Amino acid sequence: MSDAKTVLIVDDEADAVEFVETALSEIDGVATISANDGLSGLEKAKESKPDLIILDVQMPGKNGFDVFMDLRNEPSMKDTPVIMLTGIADKVGIRFSGGDMGDFMGKEPDAYIEKPVDPAELQKTVTTVLGL
């Protein structure tokens, strides 16, 4: 599986990582790696140069918005696709979107999905973003 596309999952909730890994395991040509907080996710992204990053927002150490901006400001990572996969709306009661991120931060993720997410929706988004 040397031609596999690598997806880095960055989420502090082990159940969420397992859910995403299970959903993506059904897509031929996709391999996953993971990190359990923003700082280690950023480090792992720089080391492994994944084809796609799935990023949670609320995490200890460095939140997903900060990690996203760090990735976009890192020359070697600025074009790496990012899917924000977050339950922030349930936690704070405010709906947010990729367009909102673009308006607020000046840069927009490739996709923005609210948790809980349907596995088929996640699979479709990942295959679309990766061009599979």
The pLDDT tens digits of the residues spanning 11-43 come to 999 999 999 999 999 999 999 999 999 999 999
Position 112 confidence tier, pLDDT thresholds 50, 70, 90: confident
pLDDT at 98: 47
Is residue 20 situated within a structural domain? Answer: yes
In whole angstroms, what is the distance from residue 95 CA to residue 5 CA? 31
Number of domains in the chain: 1
In whole angstroms, what is the distance from residue 5 CA to residue 88 CA? 28
Is residue 54 situated within a structural domain? Answer: yes
Among 78, 88, 33, CA closest to 57: 88
Among 121, 44, 52, CA closest to 81: 52
Is 92:55 a contact under the CB 8 Å cutoff? Answer: no
Among 104, 109, 106, CA closest to 86: 109
Is residue 9 situated within a structural domain? Answer: yes
Is residue 130 situated within a structural domain? Answer: no
In whole angstroms, what is the distance from residue 71 CA to residue 42 CA? 7
pLDDT at 54: 97
- Domain extent, residue 33, equals 5-124
pLDDT at 60: 85
Is residue 119 situated within a structural domain? Answer: yes
pTM over 0.95: no
Pick 106 or 115 by higher pLDDT: 115
Per-residue pLDDT for 99 more than 70? no
CATH number for the domain that contains residue 31: 3.40.50.2300
Is residue 131 situated within a structural domain? Answer: no
The pLDDT tens digits of the residues spanning 43-52 come to 999 999 999 9
106: left (phi over 0), alpha (psi -120 to 50) or beta: left
The pLDDT tens digits of the residues spanning 58-75 come to 888 899 989 999 999 999
Is residue 132 situated within a structural domain? Answer: no
